[in-house]
Amino acid sequence: MAEHVPMELAAATRVWYVSANGDELDEQSCMIMSRQNPNTRHVPHARPSEEPGAVIPHAGICEGGVRQLASLPQSVMNMRLLLLGFFLLASIGRADESWPSQYEFLTINGAQRITPRNGIPVLSTVPKTLRNTLAHYYFGTDDEKTPNQLRGFTFDLHKDGQDEYFIYNPAASGSGGAFYYIFRFSEGSWHCIYQFGGSLHMFPTPKGWPHLVTISRGGGGMWAKTYSEFKNGKYQDTFIEHYERGTITWEKAPKE
């Protein structure tokens, strides 16, 4: 969807661009810009031979020309640039009021968030057998060993009285969110049943493994929701929803 920027702001951007490069906007160029943009009115500029104040400029993008901008203090020019950038961004963000909001996309009705909202707690106890399994994972330490102090939490996903361990990995985390491994003890050993980045949500069920949804961030105005189900001893992604500045698309998750 094309972004709509008001003509006045678009033209203002061009004027600032010209002035930043030191080019002067002569009367002919100003008239050409006026014909391209009906909202811009051409105002004749006072020439050095004319008495200062002889021309009273009207509102319009070409008023004052580059000479007026160049005569302003640098701090004032910088402030105008900042204000212009702010209004441009605000205009783009309001380009289409029919865009679904990020808040609506990030709200998962009927789901319970599992991951902590603020901070990642230190795990007070970690079974030795689980530590032995984690020795095969890279956590970004200088000696490439498992950190003595692990962060994460425990939660009983299966509602069978046995907690799963959610192990935080700082080396795999980034702007998309904190990265976790989910480990479950079964058949005498620890198994990683899922790994994800971002926030984790589940749809509560009276028994059995719940369906999961993870939310991760991909950049400014870009998000992804990944849906997963428990199959064959571990969670597997089924499909992914993408949000990109108001546009929502979805795709089947790649098969493992």
State how far the Cα of 1 lies from the Cα of 228, in Å rounded to an integer.
30
Same domain, 114 and 172: yes
Question: Residue 18: pLDDT above 50?
Answer: no
Pair (71, 144) in one structural domain: no
202 with 112: CB under 8 angstroms?
Answer: yes
Give the single-character DSSP code of 133: H
Domain count within the chain: 2
Same domain, 80 and 198: no
- Measured N-to-C along each axis, helices 74-93 and 7-20 cross at an angle, to the nearest 10 degrees, of 150
Where residue 137 falls among pLDDT bands split at 50, 70, 90?
A: very high
- pTM of the complete model: 0.62
pLDDT tens-place string over residues 226-247: 999 999 999 999 999 999 988 9
Mean pLDDT (whole number) for 151-156: 98
- Same domain flag for 145 and 217: yes
Among 59, 93, 127, residue at a domain's last position: 93
The DSSP result for 79-125, as a single string, is HHHHHHHHHHHHHHHTS-TTSPPHHHHH--TT-EE-S-SS--PBPS-
> Residue 150's closest CA among 162, 136, 163, 166?
166
- The amino acid occupying position 13 is T
CB 180 within 8 A of CB 200: yes
Position 69 scores a pLDDT of: 36
The answer to the question of residue 13 being in a domain is yes
The reply to whether 62 and 111 lie within a common domain is: no
| Sheet with 112-113: strands ordered across | 112-113, 199-203, 211-219, 222-231, 234-244, 247-252
Select from 31, 60, 93 the last residue of a domain.
93
Q: What is the mean pLDDT of residues 22-33?
A: 40
pLDDT tier, 35 (very low <50, low <70, confident <90, very high otherwise): very low
Please check whether residue 139 is in contact with residue 148, taking contact to mean a CB–CB distance below 8 angstroms.
no
229, 164: one domain: yes
Q: Tens digits of per-residue pLDDT, 63-94?
A: 333 333 334 455 655 565 556 555 444 433 33
Beta-bridged to residue 192, according to DSSP, are 183
Asked if the model's pLDDT at residue 17 lies above 80, the reply is no
Domain assignment present for 1: no
> Is residue 124 in some structural domain?
yes
Query: What's the rounded Cα separation, in Å, for the pair 194 and 210?
Result: 13
Name the burial class of residue 161, with classes exposed (0-12), middle (13-18) and buried (19+) by CB atoms within 10 angstroms of its CB.
exposed
pLDDT, tens only, 156-184: 999 999 999 999 999 999 988 999 999 99
Q: Is 2 domain-assigned?
A: no
183 and 152 in contact (C-beta within 8 Å)? no
248 compared with 33, residue with greater pLDDT: 248
In a domain, 31, yes or no: yes
Does one domain contain both 172 and 111?
yes
Residue 66's domain comprises 7-93
Does 51 fall in a domain?
yes
